[in-house]
Amino acid sequence: MEMDLNAQVKKACFLQRLKDFPSNLKDGVTKRIKHVQKFGKDDPRRIIHSIKVGVSLTLVSMLYYVRPLYNSFGVSGMWAIVTVVVVSEFTVGGTLSKGLNRAFATLIAGALGVGAVHLARLCGHKAEPIVLGILVFSLGSAVTFSRFFPRIKQRYDYGALIFILTFSMVAVSGYRTDEILVIAYQRLSTILIGGTICILVSIFVFPVWAGEDLHKLVANNIIKLANSLEGFEGEYFPSSEKTSKETNSSVREYKGILTSETTEDTLANLARWEPGHGRFRLSHPWTKYFKIAGLVRQCAIHFEVLNACVLSDAKAPQDFISKILEPCSIMSREAGEALKAIAKSIKTMSRYHVCVNTHIKNSKNAIENLRLALKLSFPETDKDLLEIIPGVTMASTLIYIVNYVEKISEAVEELSGTVKPVLEGDNAEECNNSPHVVIAIHDEQPPTVNENNVNLGAEKTTVVVV
Amino acid sequence: MEMDLNAQVKKACFLQRLKDFPSNLKDGVTKRIKHVQKFGKDDPRRIIHSIKVGVSLTLVSMLYYVRPLYNSFGVSGMWAIVTVVVVSEFTVGGTLSKGLNRAFATLIAGALGVGAVHLARLCGHKAEPIVLGILVFSLGSAVTFSRFFPRIKQRYDYGALIFILTFSMVAVSGYRTDEILVIAYQRLSTILIGGTICILVSIFVFPVWAGEDLHKLVANNIIKLANSLEGFEGEYFPSSEKTSKETNSSVREYKGILTSETTEDTLANLARWEPGHGRFRLSHPWTKYFKIAGLVRQCAIHFEVLNACVLSDAKAPQDFISKILEPCSIMSREAGEALKAIAKSIKTMSRYHVCVNTHIKNSKNAIENLRLALKLSFPETDKDLLEIIPGVTMASTLIYIVNYVEKISEAVEELSGTVKPVLEGDNAEECNNSPHVVIAIHDEQPPTVNENNVNLGAEKTTVVVV
């Protein structure tokens, strides 16, 4: 009886599922389509790139469709198709790097391959495959080994791969055909046609420049630091103007920076292949971005500690917090403003705002105020010292962060290269000073004592030509 | 007269350089050769891999050299060469991933390509290139777009590329030839031959397993943490047994961990393609290594703060340091020992030593002792509080690190999967207790209060079957 009931329930379930199937399928498909649409909208350049690849493929197919072209190149036309598929990369730098690697590697390996075939023929018909085999084995192994060297891996990995490929193909097929020069010529010319189509489409149809992406990435990472700092202020000092909800999401924005190193490396490598474009010269110092990005990441590491302070249950007592509240929140606000100004000057490639230095100076003054506040908040009982540890950790982390902001500002100045001294007060109206600017200066150190040998005075403004 | 002198000096310089050229050249070449030799010796698997590629290339060349084979495959044999060059990766996982992607993508795209040619032929001779063009354009664009999706990019990027390649080649060349099925068959069979040779050589001739590399990398990263902790002890507490010189190099060993995420990701992805090998089953939980590696990296981030404490000129006064010296050095030593024991149990895949828990327990007790010491080292003047900040930061960072060591130990236990309770005292003789083991337990919290809900008692031992 129970079995019957079970069977009936199962049958009902099955029928229900069968009935729901069309609507479930429709829901699933709609959801999937929406996901794909959102993915495309997030970065419409992805859709454009896909269409560009389609266009290049159609163009290169003409080698087959148009009779006179097919008569000249024959089935070798397929190498042009292979080249288009393989060389079409998202960024101009990627396409150029692959295209040039492929073209030069094919040229050199093709010439060497023809030479190898002639050498092998001199040794007689029986020895020919042995000589060819030894040559292919030794060159293949040697070039494969060279691909492990970081320098070659970084810039010429694809070239080395194509070198082995072309040399082996020309040398081995040379054993069976006498038209080896024709094959080598056709392969080279079709690869050049495919590569040229790709590079032209990549540069002239909605180009995606790796250099510009790197530039924006570095600036955005600095903004992420600023947002996290702002978020932290709202989280750690609930008395702040911003509510906890507003800042909750931004406080962990820095997390993305900790894992962006690979992207930066790739973009900087590709950017070096790109010609001058937009606001960037051909010899733009892309490697200098490494330094800035490295400092930003080092700074983000200290944010991890700050985040641990936010998440920790063990917070310092409220009366202690209230004593260090002002200098700490000024430190974080001014450092955040400085970061925003640095990011803005990178992004817009405009003048290096004098207010960067002003904000850094204000946050450094706040450090002195913090020291004073700590002197005054002398613990009354022995238990207090233990309780204030989280607060002290937070404060000392903020000091580290301010120092890093200064270092980042210096690295950006260095990138700019041209530092023009401008009269005091010039540009000062651009600085959006917050109402809490510290004007009291305690025990100001002479410029030479300053850890980073930077003159923090407002009498300097610099020009960023990044 | 001066001009003459200048010219003479220049001439002398030039002659000297010309004279030195042979010896300079010899020095340069010797240096380069030594560098290459050292690079090969650092990881002899690189040399073996290069030879393996050479062997595969020689094997596949037989398709040309041996007359009966050449008669069956003809010039299509070159696709086998292309496959060998492109598919031969350093690790078994890499080779399998590329080989399988290439084989299945060729199969599916080849079938679709043949279908597309038949469809186009139905539309009449004039419409044929238009229909083919539209099909190539739309499939090429769609698959290119799909390559942006992280899931596809991670595992099937190469397959998608080969799909576009094969489909375009078959569809476009189908316009000019009636032997399209023969072409498709020859291409597929030669790719299968090339792929099979690569995979067999990769698996059976000195295989390099991505899974084993990942396993070792994670264990080595844990050892690096332990070494850095040991190095830190020698640097920060010069009164320690170890001299500063001995530990100087090891204190920054953790730095490598901060940038190893990409390597871990790649290895874990490739490991999933590998069959069971050595001590690893087919369904080994490779993704669980992410969690351990992530915790190790989080822990390494706190080492960055510890390193800042070592580098900083502002050290806490010696009398304060001497007060917290014992608990701090016990914390770092015990945490280091725990890390070493964890790494050992991963590396040897042996029993999860009971001493891991003992060491963690000891370091947790030391935290309590530290709290006591901080209570006793109550600052006497208001200036003292400021001075001890660096010491307090160091101590609180050590507390974070101890907590992370506990989390890492838990994650490794989770990886082991099989947790067997063993009688108290069992295996205890394996534990190499340091002479400083803390036996006093202050305010021990009940197990449920413990942040990570782990029973730290020595009555448990677990078995790692990683």
Q: Residue B258 and residue B372: Cα distance in Å, rounded? A: 34
* Amino acid letter, residue A108: I
- Whether residue B220 contacts residue B323, with contact meaning beta carbons closer than 8 Å, is answered with no
Best mutation site among B73, B393, B404 for testing chain A: the one with the most A CBs within 10 Å?
A: B393
- Report which of residues A289 and A459 the model is more confident about: A289
Q: Tell me: pLDDT of B143 over 90.
A: yes
Which token pair is B54? 């050479």
Determine the Cα–Cα distance for residues A143 and A122; give it in Å rounded to an integer: 25
Q: Do A175 and B88 touch (CB under 8 A)?
A: no
DSSP secondary structure code for residue A251 in this structure: G
Chain A, nearest residue to B164 by Cα:
A85
Please give the Cα distance from B386 to B249 (Å, whole number).
31
Nearest to B389 by CA among A421, A375, A270: A375
pLDDT for B180 equals 81
Q: Are B91 and B210 in contact (CB under 8 A)?
A: yes
Nearest to B362 by CA among B394, B332, B393: B332
The count of other CB atoms within 10 Å of the CB of residue B9 is: 10
Query: What Cα–Cα distance (Å) separates residue B378 from each residue in A322, B237, B442?
Result: 22, 21, 19
**Contact call for B392 and A390, based on CB within 8 A:** no
**Distance in Å, alpha carbon of B217 to nearest chain A alpha carbon:** 18
Residue reference for tokens 């560009």? A52
CB contact under 8 Å between A46 and B148, yes or no, is yes
Paired residues of A260 in beta bridges: none
Which band of pLDDT confidence, cut at 50, 70 and 90, is reported for residue B246? low
Residues whose CB is less than 8 angstroms from the CB of residue A152 and which lie 6 or more positions away in sequence, other chains included: A146, A160
Secondary structure (DSSP) of B330-373: HHHHHHHHHHHHHHHHHHH--EE-HHHHHHHHHHHHHHHHHHHH
Q: What is the mean pLDDT of residues A368-386?
A: 69
Contacting residues of B for A254, CB less than 8 Å apart: none
pLDDT in tens, A297-334: 889 888 887 887 777 766 677 777 788 888 888 888 89
Report which of B415, B96, B48, B412 is spatially closest to residue B276, judged by C-alpha positions: B96
Chain B residue closest in CA terms to A297: B258
Are residues B81 and A176, on separate chains, in Cβ contact within 8 Å?
Answer: no
- Does residue B95 have a pLDDT over 90? yes
Neighbours of B368 (CB within 10 A): 17
Rounded Cα distance between A421 and A264, Å, is 32
Report the DSSP beta bridge partners of residue B351.
B463
Identify the band that residue B386 occupies on the pLDDT scale cut at 50, 70 and 90.
Answer: low
Q: Do A382 and B396 touch (CB under 8 A)?
A: no
What is the Cα–Cα distance from A346 to A283, expressed in whole angstroms?
17
Question: Measured between beta carbons, which residues in chain A are less than 8 angstroms from residue B129?
Answer: 61, 65
Contact A386 B371 (CB under 8 A): yes
DSSP state of A466: -
How far B78 CA lies from chain A's nearest CA (Å)?
A: 6
The per-residue pLDDT for range A69-111, each reduced to its tens digit, is 888 888 888 889 999 999 999 999 999 999 999 999 999 999 9
Cβ contact, residue pair A168, B85, below 8 Å: yes
| Residue A161 to residue B46, Cβ atoms within 8 A | no
- Residue in this structure with the two tokens 């020595």, named with its chain if needed: B458
Q: Does an H or E element contain B462, and which?
A: strand B462-463
Record the pTM: 0.81
DSSP at B277: B
Which of A50, A261, A389 lies nearest to residue B144, judging by beta carbons? A50
Distance from CA of B137 to the nearest CA of A (A): 4
Closest Cα to residue B273, out of B98, B72, B46, B37?
B98
Contact: A149, B39; criterion CB under 8 Å: yes
Size of interface A-B (CB pairs under 8 A): 201
Provide ipTM, 2 decimals: 0.81
Residues of B in contact with A174 (CB under 8 A): none
A65, A302, A397 member nearest B175 (Cβ): A65
Mean pLDDT, chain A, as a whole number? 80
Q: What is the pLDDT of residue A177?
A: 78
B29-53 pLDDT per residue, tens: 999 999 988 988 999 999 999 999 9
Q: Please give, one letter per residue, the 3-state secondary structure of A159-207.
A: HHHHHHHHHHHHHHHCCCCCCHHHHHHHHHHHHHHHHHHHHHHHHHCCC
* Cβ contact B85–A165 (<8 Å): yes
Q: What is the pLDDT of residue B422?
A: 35
pLDDT of residue A12: 86
> Which residue from A165, A376, A393 is facing B393, i.e. has the nearest CB?
A393
Q: Do B136 and A61 touch (CB under 8 A)?
A: yes
For residues A54 and B140, the answer to whether their CB atoms sit within 8 Å is: yes
So what's the pLDDT on residue B161?
Answer: 95
Interface test with A, best of B58, B191, B202, B304 (most A CBs within 10 A): B58
CB < 8 Å to A157, chain B: none
Percent of chain A clearing pLDDT 70 (strictly above): 82
DSSP state letter for B239: T
Picking from B138, B164, B176, the nearest residue to A64 by CB comes out as: B176
The total of other beta-carbon atoms located within 10 Å of residue A453's CB is 9
Give the β-pairing of B462-463 and A462-463: unpaired
Tell me the CB-side half-sphere exposure of residue B451, using CA atoms within 13 A: 13
List the single residue in A with minimal CA-CA distance to B183. A75
Write out pLDDT tens, residues B252-261: 888 888 888 8
Judged against a pLDDT cut of 60, whether residue A426 lies above it is answered with: no
CA–CA distance, A105 with B263 (Å, rounded to integer): 28
CB contact under 8 A, B132 and A392: no
- CA distances A141 to B46, B89, B203, Å, are 10, 13, 18
Q: Measuring CA to CA, how many Å separate B227 from each of B129, B252, B300? A: 67, 9, 12
Q: Residues B236, B342: contact at Cβ < 8 Å?
A: no
Percent of chain B clearing pLDDT 90 (strictly above): 35
Rg (CA), chain A: 32
| Residue B201 CB-half CA count within 13 A | 27
CA distances from B376 to A175, A210, A386, B138, B252 (A): 87, 58, 10, 76, 32
Helix, strand, coil shares of chain B, percent, nearest 5, are 75, 0, 25
Question: A65 vs B308: CB contact, 8 Å cut-off?
Answer: no
State the pLDDT confidence band at B288, using cuts at 50, 70 and 90.
Answer: confident
**Residues whose CB is less than 8 angstroms from the CB of residue A33 and which lie 6 or more positions away in sequence, other chains included:** none
Q: What is the DSSP letter of B147?
A: T
